[in-house]
Structure 1
Amino acid sequence: MDLWTYIIVNQSDLMTEVVQHVALVFQSVAIATILAVGIALATYRSSLTEKIAVNTAGVLFTIPSLAMFGLLIPILGLGAGPALVALVIYATLPILRNTYAGLYSVDSAVLDAARGIGMSRTSVLVKVRLPLAGPVILVGVRVATQMGMGIATIAAYAGGPGLGKEIFSGLARFGAVNSLNAVAAGMLGVVLLALAADAVFVAVERYLKPRSLHV
């Protein structure tokens, strides 16, 4: 059986794994975005707290993914739990860094104009600084999503959902009938999902940039 025949025969299971993979990645990125933006907004005025936040996220980011799952499994068990937590941890750093970069990139003249019309510090942050930082933050979210698509495949090691199950299943019975097809189908699915997600982010970035310039 060739690869395309394998995909057609197993399309129901593969589509289920695709949906699970997408849900896992986007849930983790959404949580990481809320977490990272919240941390950045709370700490960007202090260089000390900013360094602590970035360094902490950086240290967690350097832990190899298999080791991360090995640490989380005894605490959270097998399944989607450790997969979601691990992906949130890895997604936080690029979003956090880009949030800081976006907040600092806002033109001081724009901020002075906002203060000049009587806007409070909170209003300036929420209505001016954060919207203008949006495109830069979105780049961090885009990077985190691309990275998450790959790391999510390893979630199968912890019993997590997604296309990693297809890949690990093929590797576990390497040499058996359709084992290579299972690996190839899983890898192809991950690549196509990554390309599709990137195309979506490119479109969103093009839509947001002109709008942000008029905030």
Structure 2
Amino acid sequence: MLAITGTFLTIPSFALFILLLGPLGLGWPPVLFALVLYGLLPVVRNTITGLREVDPAVIESAQGMGLNRRQRLLRIELPLAWPVVITGVRVTTLVLLGIAAIGAVVNGPGYGEMIFTGLARVGTPVAVNMVLAGTLGVIVLAVLFDLIFYTVQRLTTSRGIR
């Protein structure tokens, strides 16, 4: 699974957007599809890592208490792996914000449209302002999402494993 999701990240975003033009056309569909592909690896990798880091003695104790595989996963393993899993989601969100801006190359929505329009107007008085506005929009969103996920992580992680 890691090899498959890792392969997606080896494809440059511009190239993937262009490859997706044929089957998905212009607009948000190729951007959404590409973002899903790019977002898989950090989440999958961190989930696997978090689950592997759960102490085998804890899993054995849960098994000794009579918990079946599903109960152990939901009640013991996932809560203990949660800080690592949510970190993967956090990293994915920040990476995808940057890639989403590039999605404007195929008429995708977002701040990338302002950046590319500004770059197309280089030499005019509004070019720098448009590029800065788009770039600052992405930066502000990244900071806000990072703070939100940090807060979610703090609120949903048991004090004993922080």
After TM superposition, the score normalised by the length of structure 1 is: 0.72
Query: 1:104 is matched with which residue?
Result: 52
Number of residue pairs aligned between Structure 1 and Structure 2: 162
Displacement after TM superposition at 1:211 (Å): 5.4
Q: After the TM superposition, which residues 136-175 of structure 1 pair with which residues of structure 2 at under 5 Å, given as runs?
A: 136-175=84-123
Query: 1:127 is matched with which residue?
Result: 75
| 3-state secondary structure, aligned to 1:162 | coil
Alignment partner of 1:185 is 2:133:
yes
CA RMSD of aligned residues (A): 1.5
Alpha-carbon separation, structure 2, partners of 1:105 and 1:165: 42
Cα 1:115–1:99 shift into 2, 3 Å: same
- Unaligned runs of at least 5 residues, structure 1: 1-52
Mean Cα deviation higher: 163-172 or 104-113: 104-113
AA in 1 matched with 2:120: A
Is the 1:166–1:183 contact (alpha carbons within 8 Å) kept by the matching residues of 2? yes
Is the 1:170–1:178 contact (alpha carbons within 8 Å) kept by the matching residues of 2? yes
AA in 1 matched with 2:78: L
| 3-state secondary structure, aligned to 2:158 | helix
Which of 113, 124, 147 does residue 199 from structure 1 map onto?
A: 147
| 3-state secondary structure, aligned to 1:106 | coil
Q: Which has the higher contact order (CA 8 A, sep 6+)?
A: 1
Query: 2:18 is matched with which residue?
Result: 70
Alpha-carbon separation, structure 2, partners of 1:166 and 1:196: 20
Displacement after TM superposition at 1:212 (Å): 7.2
The runs of at least 4 aligned residues of structure 1 exceeding 6 Å deviation read: none
Cα 1:80–1:124 shift into 2, 3 Å: same
Identity fraction in percent: 47
AA in 1 matched with 2:130: A
AA in 2 matched with 1:182: M
Query: 2:2 is matched with which residue?
Result: 54
Q: Deviations over 1:94-138 (max 9, x none)?
A: 111000001111112221121111111121112211222111110
Query: 1:90 is matched with which residue?
Result: 38
Alpha-carbon separation, structure 1, partners of 2:108 and 2:26: 7
Query: 1:8 is matched with which residue?
Result: none
Q: Deviations over 1:49-89 (max 9, x none)?
A: xxxx1111111111000001011111100011000011111
Alignment partner of 1:80 is 2:34:
no
Is the 1:131–1:212 contact (alpha carbons within 8 Å) kept by the matching residues of 2? no
AA in 2 matched with 1:165: E
Displacement after TM superposition at 1:151 (Å): 0.6
Alpha-carbon separation, structure 2, partners of 1:129 and 1:159: 42
Is the 1:134–1:212 contact (alpha carbons within 8 Å) kept by the matching residues of 2? no
| 3-state secondary structure, aligned to 2:26 | coil
